[in-house]
Amino acid sequence: MSLRPHFGPCPLPIQHYPQVLMAHGSGGRMMHHLIEQMFLATFGNEQTGHHDAACLDLSHPHIAFTTDSYVVSPIFFPGGDIGRMAIYGTVNDLAMAGARPLYLSLSFILEEGLSMETLWQVVQSIRFAANQAQVAIVTGDTKVVERGKCDGLYINTSGIGSIEHAWDISPASIRAGDAILINGDLGRHAIAIMAQREGLAFETTLESDLAPLARAVLALIEAGVEIHCLRDLTRGGLATALNELAQAAHCLVQLGETIPVSESVAGASEILGLDPLYLANEGRFVAFLPPSQVQRAIAILQAVDPDSTPQQIGVVEADLPPSPPPFWVKMHTPFGGNRILDYRNVDGLPRIC
């Protein structure tokens, strides 16, 4: 299957309405045409229609529910766009709870003057991503705001997934001695956004790692791998995620010297004065699991995605820290000491997702 969405011709008469108008959000005929010809024609299924709510069959006793909003700038970037990010990001949040993604809601806030062709490309990208992630978009909403009140378009999603196992995959399940596994290299999403936003050119084109993670997680679960906790490494990157998890589980995390970062990301980070350990990712996660499960988990992840480079990057220390400890996460250095990886005191890159 191609990993790039295919954009067919926009069905709306763009020669009459080449841009989004305030009337497209007024509740009248133009809004009806936008919903019918743009959204329902793309996402329509047995659950969607002209109802304000979708009626769903949720036969599983345990359900995961999440919501998120997407304001990434620019809308299109190397390796993805706001549409694919909205779907994959929501699917990934469900997957981190060990859930099988089932249903999504999709709401647009559109700026007056947005190119109708741009909207059509985003809608087609969303359809591609939903098909790839095997989720149904079952309800949604559209609002139009005045020119200058929104940077093109924003997207809000909510997602529902079924938990089909008895494990408690959460920070509360992290145990002393757990191995920490990562599914690939760090920092590509943030660097791709930064380069596109600032017009930077590097020798190698850097693309976002944007990807759906549910297939990999479900493969681990279905194979019986004992997963204690999962976390995707979005805003704040690896270091921030591990601090949050260690603090929630009241444990100390020890990382090894080698954390996977590509030469391109490392070089760009050095030029820009950024630390890859704190950079956002959109297709990376960490898993906490018993050391005896590591090699099996790595083999499963590589079978699901032969291009992935999963590896163990650390452990949960056996000794509990004092309360409160001076730090939660440390990393071995080549000089024989440890580097403390604390929360950053400065904001990360804005509008990254």
> Taking 50 as the threshold, does the pLDDT of residue 106 lie above it?
yes
The per-residue b/e assignment along 14-41, b for 16 or more CB within 10 angstroms, e otherwise, is eeeeebbbeebbeeeebbeebbeebbee
- Give residue for tokens 């596994």: 181
Please, which residues have CB within 8 angstroms of residue 1's CB and are 6 or more apart in sequence?
132
The mean pLDDT value for 184-207 works out to: 88
- Which has the minimum average pLDDT: 122-126, 164-168, 178-182, 344-348? 344-348
- Which has the minimum average pLDDT: 35-39, 184-188, 285-289, 332-336? 35-39
How is residue 207 written in tokens? 């693309």
Claim: this prediction has a pTM higher than 0.85: yes
Report yes or no: 5 and 210 within 8 Å, Cβ to Cβ.
no
The mean pLDDT value for 7-11 works out to: 65
Binned at pLDDT 50, 70 and 90, residue 3 comes out as low
Query: Which of 248, 314, 320, 247 lies closest to 287, judged by CA?
Result: 314
Is 15 or 94 the better-scoring residue by pLDDT? 94
The mean pLDDT value for 140-148 works out to: 95
Binned at pLDDT 50, 70 and 90, residue 29 comes out as confident
Q: What is the pLDDT of residue 1?
A: 40
| DSSP 3-state of 267 | helix
Q: How far is CA 225 from CA 147, 232, 294, in A?
A: 51, 18, 9
Average pLDDT over the chain, rounded to whole?
90
Q: What is the pLDDT of residue 43?
A: 80
Binned at pLDDT 50, 70 and 90, residue 183 comes out as very high
> Taking 50 as the threshold, does the pLDDT of residue 157 lie above it?
yes
Q: Distance between CA 232 and CA 96 in Å, rounded? A: 7
Binned at pLDDT 50, 70 and 90, residue 199 comes out as confident
Is 273 or 33 the better-scoring residue by pLDDT? 273
